[in-house]
Structure 1
Amino acid sequence: MARLLNRLSPKFIENIEKPGRYADGGGLYLQVAPSTDGGVTKAWLFRYMRGHTSRSGKPTSREMGLGPLSTSKRDGFITTKEARERAYRARENLKAGIDPIDAKRALRLAKRVQDAKAVTFTQCATEYIEAHKAAWKGEKHTKLWKGSLKRYVEPVFGALPVAAVDTALVLKALKPIWGTKTQSAAKLRMRIELILNWATTHGYRDGENPARWRGHLKNVLPDPGKVAKVKHLPAMPYAELPAFMAELRQDRTVAARALEWTILSAVRSDNTFGLTWESGEVDPTKKCWTISAERMKADADHRVPLTDRMLEIVSGLSRDTKYVFSGENPKKKLPHEKMLKALKSIRPGLTVHGFRSTFKDWASEQTAYANEVSEMALAHAVGDKVENAYRRTDLFEKRALLMKDWAAYCGSRS
């Protein structure tokens, strides 16, 4: 009786060099094919009939590759024994009405899904930040994201699969700071929600977002606005400013000049730190500093009138640096800490950003300029969307007069 299975002997399998297909029985074949180096390659193949027909209506077979023939214990390929076992499982699937190729694809898909579900929250956070940071306002925003996630989230569920993050874990990260650092906690919740949404879109998790506020965490945590009112940054009373500026001018460091420039221009400190010589933002001839839209919080160019003192500051700085206000390394910007140190050496307990409030208080109480003039000087939005759509001026000339008066007031004790 003819042998139906295991027809090919080990010696034949090892020595056969003629290209072709050699039946081992039960739909299993050894396929020998020419290789590019002049030799041959050998691989296992399973062929079967499964109700498939050609265009002419004739039954056709299906073929499923099982893998290259193993020639050594360490090559990781398919031995004759493994090939025969796989062929046996394929025949059993056929008996059960399961197409072996469909079953193989289902297993691969399940593995891919399982691998995707194993992606950690921290990995997702890293990819989310990398994908979105180009649209954010500078390195500081990116550092805030990374810092809050590293401090409060990573110790709780950063190393866990993102698919495993549930409401209990989110609350475990938020609750310890919800009552003491409410605003930071609210921002952290939003960041977690965005990252989990990103993970869902990429197929790394399913179901509702456990960090969503409306209809979910709102039922568990108190409203941030009712927990603690926003604490405004400490600001210097404007009456004390002239004496402070006189003392600041005695400090000959670049940090002191950067602080003075920031106060005189009433801009955010990031705008000062990011100013480069090659940008051409500062135009001494027109007495104008045009901060580009990508460096502004409002995504629009902001023109700052330059006063005589500001021109004096910028003319006294070295141009052998990349940034106008440079650190010890001529290719790097002045560190935030240096400016803050210059401030604290004269008046501890204040913040650089607080001088914008000082400017606003002075403009409101000591001048007759319209509110919209000082608001535009601070690069704040003025009026509603309809009003802004019809406004065709940034009131530069009026702001130039305002900033000139501001500079005179700041220097009144010099």
Structure 2
Amino acid sequence: MDRSMDSGMDRGSKVGEGFEVKHKLNVKAVQAAKGPKWFSDGGGLYLKVTKGGGKSWVFRWRDRDTSKLRDMGIGPYPDYTLAEARDTASICRRLVIAGLDPIEERDRERAEQAAEMAAASKVMTFSKAAKAYIDAKVEPESKSDKHVAQWRSSLEQYAYPVLGKMDVADIDVPHVMKVLSPIWSVKSETASRVRLRTEHVLNWAAVQGYRDRFNPAQWRGVLSHLLPAKEKIAPVVHHKALHYSEVPAFLTRLRKKGGMGAKALEFAILCASRSGEVRGAKWSEFDLSARVWKIPKGRMKAKREHKVPLTDAAVALLEALPESDNALVFPAARGGQLSDMTLNKICRDMEVEAVPHGFRSSFKDWCREKADMRKDKSKEEDRIPYPDELSELALAHVNSDATRAAYARSDLLDLRRDLMRDWAAYCNQTGGKVVPIKGAA
């Protein structure tokens, strides 16, 4: 190979204090250079061109101890532009002036970067811990993809900007407060969920051995001393509901509508069930001969199997449904599960100020007010036979001590059967008036 160079190279590329570089190359010259040949740019920077036309940048200097010429490859052209090669050569010149070897310094820096990357790969960051927890717990136990997506999106939006790249072992109360403080008062419900999800992730990290400290995201004893209780800053938003006196007329109109969504909503009202419980109902959960619907705990909010007594009206509705091979009782037109928006749209189309979940409130109010009315009567036979905790059982609520005690005794299925029979009879009354939403045409 022709290793001839210009006069600058022949002088041995002296690099020292006060050395003023006079650049000799320009972009066009670099592009037009042909080899095999070395082209000096000055200051120890060379463009090496092979016979085949390959081009690369080299920094050359004379070793102070041995007086021998040393070469360090900078990188290929055009991956490294002329300007970038000059910047690197300038750094190398300063190293030589300082009595350092550019190759040794480059190798040392690369080793440090590799060590840092290796150490970083072993660190359990909050984002890695969150993803692991979601994969291990949230996704397998979730009843819907939507819930899993909400977990991910809430942490990505609010927690990751502060905690995402942090080692979980280093996360402390000030870091969690930095996440929650900006949204605690303005987005209290979202902030509360982010806090709880952060607490779960850090608990997972502790169990896995990545943390050995208390959980800075826990409410009781930690954040409860720093943040106001959620219920103090955010009023409880109740689901829009019809007065129970309007339900019979609403059902009369609802039964005139076609579609599986209308059937699902009617069934939900008759059973005082949640929308999701009805939309996800499967034929395998029903025993029509025993007139009971057993909802598995995996589909229940309280994570407890719930038995729903079926009234004549509920059974008649089920038996009148078109035959299908679909496992779902109320499938969507394309075969999948009905969406919650489908049932909400029915209420909007019927121009009522209510949502599907609100009919559970209608049922609860009916139970409470009818009981209060009848308890004022003197005759024992006129008194309603179901106390408040019975309606709580019908709604699958397990929040009160009375309800828990009732569950401890039994599910009171026979008494609830009477309750639901009376509710269905009330719903099937004719007459009444449904008040449309304000401003509806």
Aligned to 1:11: none
Do the aligned partners of residues 189 and 349 (structure 1) sit closer, same or farther apart at CA in structure 2, a change above 3 Å counting? farther
Q: Residue 364 of structure 1: CA displacement? A: 1.4
CA distance in 1, matches of 2:330, 2:170: 47
Aligned to 2:272: 266
Aligned to 2:327: 322
Do the aligned partners of residues 259 and 156 (structure 1) sit closer, same or farther apart at CA in structure 2, a change above 3 Å counting? farther
Out of 365, 370, 376, the position equivalent to 2:369 is 365
Give the residue type in structure 2 aligned to 1:276.
Answer: K
Aligned to 2:126: 121
- Map 1:347-366 onto structure 2 (within 5 A): 347=351, 349-366=353-370
CA distance in 2, matches of 1:349, 1:147: 31
CA distance in 1, matches of 2:203, 2:285: 39
Deviations 1:291-333 (A, max 9, x none): 1233223333222111222223222134232311112322x21
Give the residue type in structure 2 aligned to 1:121.
Answer: F
Q: TM-score if structure 2 supplies the norm length?
A: 0.61
Do the aligned partners of residues 370 and 215 (structure 1) sit closer, same or farther apart at CA in structure 2, a change above 3 Å counting? closer
Out of 289, 294, 314, the position equivalent to 1:290 is 294
Out of 129, 132, 137, the position equivalent to 2:137 is 132
Aligned to 1:409: 426
Give the residue type in structure 2 aligned to 1:309.
Answer: A
How much identity, in percent, do the aligned residues show?
39
Do the aligned partners of residues 344 and 375 (structure 1) sit closer, same or farther apart at CA in structure 2, a change above 3 Å counting? same
CA distance in 1, matches of 2:236, 2:408: 33
Give the residue type in structure 2 aligned to 1:321.
Answer: N
CA distance in 2, matches of 1:385, 1:240: 28
Out of 275, 285, 299, the position equivalent to 2:303 is 299
Do the aligned partners of residues 376 and 110 (structure 1) sit closer, same or farther apart at CA in structure 2, a change above 3 Å counting? same
CA distance in 1, matches of 2:308, 2:147: 23
Q: Residue 378 of structure 1: CA displacement? A: 1.2
Q: Is the 8 A contact 2:185 2:233 kept in 1?
A: yes
Matched, 1:246 2:252: yes
CA distance in 2, matches of 1:232, 1:251: 27
Greater gyration radius: 2
Aligned to 1:194: 200
CA distance in 1, matches of 2:363, 2:127: 42
Secondary structure of residue in 1 paired with 2:322 = coil
Secondary structure of residue in 1 paired with 2:293 = strand
Q: Is the 8 A contact 1:162 1:205 kept in 2?
A: yes
Q: TM-score if structure 1 supplies the norm length?
A: 0.64
CA distance in 1, matches of 2:325, 2:191: 43
CA distance in 2, matches of 1:217, 1:376: 33
Q: Is the 8 A contact 1:116 1:204 kept in 2?
A: no
Deviations 1:69-117 (A, max 9, x none): xxxxxxxxxxxxxxxxxxxxxxxxxxxxxxxxxxxxxxx9998764222
Q: Residue 286 of structure 1: CA displacement? A: 1.6
CA distance in 1, matches of 2:137, 2:296: 20
Aligned to 1:311: 315
Give the residue type in structure 2 aligned to 1:127.
Answer: A
Q: Is the 8 A contact 1:258 1:325 kept in 2?
A: yes
Q: Is the 8 A contact 2:242 2:353 kept in 1?
A: no
CA distance in 2, matches of 1:379, 1:389: 10
Aligned to 1:103: none
Aligned to 1:396: 413
Deviations 1:168-227 (A, max 9, x none): 442233223211332332232121122123224434456453323344433432222322
Matched, 1:221 2:238: no
Give the residue type in structure 2 aligned to 1:133.
Answer: V
Secondary structure of residue in 2 paired with 1:289 = strand
Secondary structure of residue in 2 paired with 1:138 = coil
Give the residue type in structure 2 aligned to 1:234.
Answer: K
Q: Is the 8 A contact 2:169 2:211 kept in 1?
A: yes
Deviations 1:358-382 (A, max 9, x none): 1011011124132232222112337
CA distance in 1, matches of 2:334, 2:421: 33
Do the aligned partners of residues 219 and 386 (structure 1) sit closer, same or farther apart at CA in structure 2, a change above 3 Å counting? closer
Q: Residue 129 of structure 1: CA displacement? A: 1.6
Secondary structure of residue in 2 paired with 1:320 = coil
Aligned alpha-carbon RMSD (Å): 3.0
CA distance in 1, matches of 2:361, 2:355: 11
Secondary structure of residue in 1 paired with 2:257 = coil
Do the aligned partners of residues 407 and 151 (structure 1) sit closer, same or farther apart at CA in structure 2, a change above 3 Å counting? farther
Unaligned runs of 5+ residues in structure 2 are 1-113, 372-383, 432-441
Q: Is the 8 A contact 1:248 1:260 kept in 2?
A: yes
Secondary structure of residue in 1 paired with 2:238 = coil
Give the residue type in structure 1 aligned to 2:307.
Answer: R
Aligned to 2:238: 232
Q: Residue 249 of structure 1: CA displacement? A: 1.4
Aligned to 2:152: 146
CA distance in 2, matches of 1:211, 1:205: 13
CA distance in 1, matches of 2:115, 2:208: 15
Do the aligned partners of residues 122 and 310 (structure 1) sit closer, same or farther apart at CA in structure 2, a change above 3 Å counting? same
